[in-house]
């Protein structure tokens, strides 16, 4: 998500298949006007609601913040996928690798966060092979909590 | 109030509040430099009696306030700090400690340490005590000053950075104990203390009871420059006299009757009664000799002993007891070597300022050791008492117009728990009263649990080194009040040559690295393996073979065969 000076960086953490016909209280995907008219495609009108959790911010001048940010996204902001070099910049703010947003995510308390972090760390290990040792310490710690401690 | 003052080091921590017990407080420190060690001295500033003063304390224990989760340590090749950094923890102070400090107080030249009796307010900066602040307050005497016994330097600092000196006036009056397990460096430290006592600034009169021949190397002292002082006014050269076995003699007729009875060991009641009578009959004969004693035994009126009865059997018993007693006396008191009818090692020969006498008592049996030590201690003590009371003149053997210090190795042999040794009562008496008459005792033992606890607790200065045995640790803990619990916990962790010095001769308990000896240490442990392998060196084997050819031994052939097998027939 971007505005003029800085972009909020987030990660997709949930997707919900959505049909506006069911559950009228939900967000409106289509402009309201159209719903007055009955059109055949209306029945096929589904959408995927993508949940994004903020990880931090990436400024134009490459200043990076991990964790809670000072801005929040506004309605209608454009969302785009990060390029690989942007992912690198985001994780190597001063040339040193960091995933400072992990404690922030864990504090979130969403039941799927640990799972998300597991797959995230696998992805990062691919992007930053030199950090795979430290990443696997973090990853194993998460996996243990998730798979062993929770099944107690 | 401002935090510090000019001349302070950089603060190393911050006061937090009261500690585990009344005399403690806690500080919090990242300890970036790794200087907040157990036994280290720190201070904060506070208002005392209308002035700002440094309040000193000694680090007693430390614990992590922040700990990495165990899981961060899963990979030995990845440091937990690195994991924490990757997770966004960027501070250099990844470690934080809570440190318990025993409060000592501010230092005054007249009062020593004065405890403020109040924990510091939270948030005050804490400083590491500078060497130049510390040295004069740990020891009351500077090295080289009269009475200073410079034993080493503060263990938590560099070698020699903060010297530690004991005050000879204190331990020579109120006694010294050196306690540690075998091999911890007790005898080495005792050697250092004797060296210091013989320097020109002390010129002490020292006697060492040495059962293991560990102190004969002190005889190098007179050859070393630093021990001499020769100028236009003073000519001082210390002397060290080694008395090997047979070179010191106790004249029988100066011995205490109880000591002679003790020397006999376990004897029957009739024998004891006869011996007492015989000795009693010699009371008026000042210069009796051994034969007089035997004659006196023979002359004891048996009839009067058996209660005037003419019971033949009873008298017969006593007669055989006389015989047994005579044999016993010949076997103990009568033996040549330690005891003599005429010769006598003069007290003035043993004890004089600037002289260290080493009595090698190792060759004697335990009872004789005790009797010799008891006799010498008793005479020295009597000499000091009589001289002090003005009852002697300079020609008297017991005229000792100077304080004396006696160092006793294997002290538990001479003062076992609950008494019972010939030396027991005497030692207890000297330890209790020595201060009045200027006689100091230094007890060295590796078995504090086997040393009489009253005797031990009379030693007001303690040098305690590595002790692993819990029984001995407890003995030390109960006898040595002045030593904090905190340092007691350190006892098993000390290394060779490290000592906790506490009590009267220092201003505060201090962890000390014993300095290097100026003379060689004589207590080196026996090189067993070297001697064993030496047995098989070709020239040794050859010599044995030649010897055996010259002096055939009935069962010596096996040795030669073994050597031949191992080394071939050359
Ligand atoms: N302060 C020291 N510096 C160097 N070596 C030491 C020191 N203290 C002890 N040692 C060495 O340790 C060994 C044991 O010391 P010693 O004094 O004989 O032990 P203990 O009398 O306690 O049984 C000796 O060989 C000695 O050389
Ligand atoms: Mg020894």
Q: What is the ipTM of this complex?
A: 0.76
Q: What is the distance in angstroms between the Cα of A88 and the nearest Cα belonging to chain B? A: 14
Q: How many domains is chain A partitioned into structurally?
A: 1
B487, B374: one domain? yes
In a domain, A143, yes or no: yes
B38, B92: one domain? yes
In a domain, B521, yes or no: no
Determine whether A80 is exposed, middle or buried from the number of CB atoms within 10 Å of its CB (0-12, 13-18, 19+): exposed
Residue B67 Rama label (left phi>0; alpha psi -120 to 50; beta) = beta
Round the CA-based radius of gyration of chain A to a whole number and report it: 19
Find the CATH number of the domain harbouring B232.
Answer: 3.40.50.300
Range of the domain at A93: 6-151
Q: Is the CB of B71 less than 8 angstroms away from the CB of A141?
A: yes
Answer for the pair B171, B504: CB distance below 8 angstroms, yes or no.
yes
Range of the domain at B318: 266-331
In a domain, B525, yes or no: no
B46, B191: one domain? no
pTM recorded for the entire structure: 0.79
In a domain, B1, yes or no: no
Of the candidates B71, B82, B87, the beta carbon closest to that of A144 is on: B71
Q: Is the CB of B78 less than 8 angstroms away from the CB of A133?
A: yes
Q: Which residue, among B514, B524, B363, B486, has the nearest Cα to B40 in the 3D structure?
A: B486
In a domain, B136, yes or no: no
Ligand nearest to the CA of B409: 2
In a domain, B223, yes or no: yes
CA-CA distances (angstroms) from residue B355 to B199, B238, B343?
A: 10, 6, 22
B270, B240: one domain? no
Full pLDDT tens readout for chain B, 570 residues: 444 455 567 889 999 988 888 888 999 998 888 899 999 999 999 988 888 999 999 999 888 887 778 888 888 888 888 888 888 877 666 678 999 999 999 998 888 899 888 888 999 999 999 998 899 999 988 888 999 999 999 999 999 999 999 999 999 999 999 999 999 999 999 999 999 999 999 999 999 999 999 999 999 999 999 899 888 888 899 999 999 988 888 899 988 888 898 888 888 888 999 999 999 999 888 889 999 999 999 988 877 776 655 566 667 777 888 899 999 999 889 887 889 999 888 888 899 999 999 999 988 888 888 889 998 999 999 999 999 999 999 888 889 999 999 999 999 999 999 888 889 989 999 999 988 999 999 999 999 989 998 899 899 999 999 999 888 888 888 877 766 677 778 888 899 999 999 999 999 999 999 999 999 998 666 667 777 888 888 888 888 888 777 765 555 455 555 555 555 544
B196, B235: one domain? yes
**Helix or strand run (H / E) with residue B413:** helix B411-414
Chosen for mutation from A134, A135, A142 (greatest number of chain B CBs closer than 10 Å) is: A134
B18, B80: one domain? yes
Q: How many domains is chain B partitioned into structurally?
A: 4
In a domain, B140, yes or no: no
In a domain, B470, yes or no: yes
* A-B contacts at Cβ under 8 angstroms: 45
Q: Collect all residues of chain B within an 8 Å Cβ-Cβ radius of residue A138.
A: 83, 86-87
In a domain, A1, yes or no: no
CA pair distance B350, B376, nearest whole angstrom = 9
């Amino acid at each position: 998500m971007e505005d003029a000076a800085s972009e909020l960086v987030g990660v997709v953490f949930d997707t919900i298949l959505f049909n506006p016909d069911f559950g009228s209280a939900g967000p409106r995907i289509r402009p309201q006007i159209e719903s007055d008219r009955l059109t055949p495609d209306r029945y096929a009108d589904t959408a995927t609601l993508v949940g994004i959790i903020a990880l931090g911010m990436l400024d134009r001048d490459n200043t990076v913040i991990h964790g809670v940010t000072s801005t929040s996204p506004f309605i209608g902001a454009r969302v785009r996928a990060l390029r690989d070099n942007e992912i690198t910049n985001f994780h190597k703010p001063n040339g040193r690798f960091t995933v400072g947003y992990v404690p922030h995510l864990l504090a979130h308390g969403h039941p799927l966060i640990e799972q998300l972090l597991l797959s995230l760390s696998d992805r990062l290990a691919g992007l930053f092979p030199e950090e795979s040792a430290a990443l696997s310490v973090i990853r194993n710690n998460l996996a243990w909590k998730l798979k062993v401690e929770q099944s107690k | 109030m401002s935090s510090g003052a000019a001349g302070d080091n950089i603060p190393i921590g911050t006061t937090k509040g009261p500690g585990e017990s009344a005399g403690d407080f806690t500080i919090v420190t990242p300890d970036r430099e790794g200087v907040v060690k157990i036994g280290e001295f720190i201070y904060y500033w506070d208002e005392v009696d209308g002035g700002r003063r440094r309040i000193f304390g000694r680090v007693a224990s430390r614990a992590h306030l922040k700990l990495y989760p165990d899981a961060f340590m899963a990979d030995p090749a990845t440091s937990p700090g690195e994991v924490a950094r990757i997770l966004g923890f960027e501070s250099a102070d990844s470690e934080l400690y809570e440190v318990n400090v025993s409060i000592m107080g501010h230092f005054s030249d007249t009062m020593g340490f004065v405890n403020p009796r109040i924990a510091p307010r939270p948030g005050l900066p804490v400083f590491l005590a500078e060497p130049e602040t510390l040295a004069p307050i740990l020891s009351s005497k500077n090295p080289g000053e009269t009475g200073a016994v410079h034993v080493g330097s503060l263990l938590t600092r560099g070698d020699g950075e903060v010297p530690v000196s004991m005050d000879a006036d204190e331990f020579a009056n109120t006694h010294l104990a050196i306690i540690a397990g075998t091999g911890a460096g007790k005898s080495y430290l005792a050697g250092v203390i004797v060296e210091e006592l013989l320097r020109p600034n002390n010129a002490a009169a020292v006697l060492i009871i040495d059962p293991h021949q560990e102190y004969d190397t002190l005889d190098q002292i007179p050859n070393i420059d630093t021990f001499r002082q020769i100028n236009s006014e003073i000519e001082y050269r210390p002397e060290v006299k080694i008395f090997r076995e047979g070179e010191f003699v106790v004249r029988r007729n100066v011995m205490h009757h109880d000591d002679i009875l003790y020397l006999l060991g376990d004897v029957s009641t009739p024998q004891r009664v006869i011996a007492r009578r015989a000795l009693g009959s010699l009371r008026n004969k000042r210069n009796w000799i051994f034969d007089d004693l035997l004659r006196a035994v023979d002359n004891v009126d048996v009839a009067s002993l058996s209660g005037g009865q003419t019971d033949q059997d009873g008298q017969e018993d006593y007669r055989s007891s006389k015989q047994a007693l005579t044999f016993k006396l010949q076997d103990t008191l009568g033996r040549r070597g330690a005891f003599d009818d005429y010769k006598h090692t003069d007290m003035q020969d043993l004890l004089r300022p600037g002289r260290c006498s080493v009595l090698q008592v190792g060759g004697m049996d335990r009872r004789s050791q005790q009797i010799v030590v008891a006799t010498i201690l008793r005479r020295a003590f009597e000499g000091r008492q009589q001289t002090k009371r003005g009852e002697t003149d300079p020609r008297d053997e017991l005229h000792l117009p100077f304080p004396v210090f006696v160092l006793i190795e294997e002290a538990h042999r001479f003062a076992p728990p609950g008494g019972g040794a010939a030396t027991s009562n005497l030692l207890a008496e000297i330890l209790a009263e020595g201060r009045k008459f200027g006689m100091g005792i230094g007890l060295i033992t590796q078995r504090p649990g086997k040393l009489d606890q009253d005797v031990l607790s009379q030693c007001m200065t303690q040098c305690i080194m590595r002790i692993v045995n819990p029984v001995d640790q407890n003995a030390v803990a109960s006898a040595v009040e002045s030593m904090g619990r905190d340092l007691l916990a350190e006892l098993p962790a000390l290394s060779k040559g490290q000592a906790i010095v506490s009590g009267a001769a220092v201003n505060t308990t201090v962890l000390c690295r014993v300095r290097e000896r100026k003379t060689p240490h004589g207590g080196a442990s026996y090189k067993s393996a070297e001697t064993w392998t030496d047995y098989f060196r070709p020239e040794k084997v050859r010599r044995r073979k030649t010897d055996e050819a010259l002096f055939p031994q009935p069962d010596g052939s096996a040795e030669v065969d073994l050597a031949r097998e191992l080394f071939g027939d050359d």
